[in-house]
Structure 1
Amino acid sequence: MKVKTPADSYTSMTEIVLPNDTNVYGNLMGGRLMYWMDIAAAIAAQKHCNAPVVTASVDNISFEKSIKLGNTVHIEAKVTRAFNTSMEIHLRVWGEDFTTQFKYKSNEAYYTFVALDPHGRPRQVPQLAPDTDDEKRLYEGALHRRQLRLILGGKMKPGDASELKALFDQEV
């Protein structure tokens, strides 16, 4: 399998916030944004592994700034690390008000996807080789985030999380 870079999976998606996408305060509903983010992340994952994928987990999504009715939503997604059959995808979200020409950060999150074979079972994915310093930082952090996800999902015992333990066992 050919090793890929985060740039190979880069996906950019743009939506406009319409009345049906908002709550009673005129803000984009969080569920609608998560839906759009899931689509962008799935496209990035599929570009990386050239196979169908399913969402395995969504990390904490914190809403830094609401996106208003009529604003544009920009979502960028790319794979930050590939494991055996799963991939972590990092997403960044911006809102943009064209009338004031103001672009602002709204959200950031990590999604995990699993690649599927023709029978719907997990299949191996290509490894990832980060290029930039930011990509390398995200790549290294992915191991910690993965172990935390596994612990929270009940698939790993905290005592087995060697990468996380190493963070706390360092002398200051």
Structure 2
Amino acid sequence: MTTTKRSRESRTVLTDIVLPPDTNYHGTIFGGNVMAYVDKVASIAAMRHSRMQVVTAASDSFDFLAPIKTGEAICIEGYVTSTRTTSMEVFVKVEAEDLLTGERRQAATSYLTFVALDGNGKPASVPRVVPETEEEKWHFAGAQERYEIRKRRREQQRT
């Protein structure tokens, strides 16, 4: 198995148009739909990095920043930002795009954690991630702190 992989090797992008059935009575996409898209993109990124089956272990700091309206495109991009022995943190950015003007705005961000599974469904080792761009390095630099916060939160929930 490769011991390292670049962040860009896991980069996953999904674009879809927001139609009336996708929206609430405000004419904006349901938050749950956005969360489902984010989990899907993040899981693909984690599988691309590990080349194994994965399960979602955590979803934290899901921040909705702006609504996405009927007729706009939802653009989701995610990639692996850091790794531990068997887990991967994935950053996902959601943007809204006005398809008539091309204007984009950030609509949501999230970090999710996935665990890689071997053929028996047991946690398996993943390659270390190597960030290259300034953005990738910025996310990588904060990963340890986010890991500690997740760890404390899990411990608190167990007691």
Give the shorter-chain TM-score range: over 0.9
Give 3-state SS (helix, strand or coil) of 2:155's partner. coil
Q: Which has the higher strand share?
A: 2
> What is the 5 A alignment of 1:1-172?
1-2=1-2, 3-154=4-155
Give 3-state SS (helix, strand or coil) of 1:114's partner. strand
Residue identity opposite 1:123 in structure 2: A
Aligned equivalents of 2:145 and 2:111: distance in 1?
Answer: 12
What is the Cα-based RMSD across aligned positions, in Å?
Answer: 1.4
Residue identity opposite 1:116 in structure 2: L
Aligned equivalents of 1:114 and 1:65: distance in 2?
Answer: 30
Aligned equivalents of 2:117 and 2:56: distance in 1?
Answer: 11
Aligned equivalents of 1:35 and 1:88: distance in 2?
Answer: 17
Return 5+ residue gaps in structure 2 as ranges. none
TM-score, normalised on structure 1? Answer: 0.87
The Cα offsets for residues 56-93 of structure 1, whole Å up to 9 and x where unpaired, read as: 01012121110001110000100000111000000111
Aligned equivalents of 2:149 and 2:98: distance in 1?
Answer: 36
Return 5+ residue gaps in structure 1 as ranges. 157-172
Runs of 4+ deviating beyond 4 Å: none
Identity of aligned residues (%): 40
TM-superposed CA distance for 1:133, in Å, is: 2.5
The Cα offsets for residues 27-72 of structure 1, whole Å up to 9 and x where unpaired, read as: 1011000000000000000000000001001012121110001110
TM-superposed CA distance for 1:155, in Å, is: 7.0
TM-score, normalised on structure 2? Answer: 0.94
CA, structure 1 residues 136+100, in 2 after alignment: closer, same or farther (shift >3 Å)? Answer: closer
Aligned equivalents of 2:156 and 2:65: distance in 1?
Answer: 30
Residue identity opposite 1:30 in structure 2: G
- Structure-2 residue corresponding to 1:160: none
Aligned equivalents of 2:84 and 2:113: distance in 1?
Answer: 10
Residue identity opposite 1:47 in structure 2: R
Residue identity opposite 1:70 in structure 2: G
Q: Which has the higher contact order (CA 8 A, sep 6+)?
A: 2
Greater C-alpha radius of gyration = 1
TM-superposed CA distance for 1:99, in Å, is: 2.6
Aligned length: 156
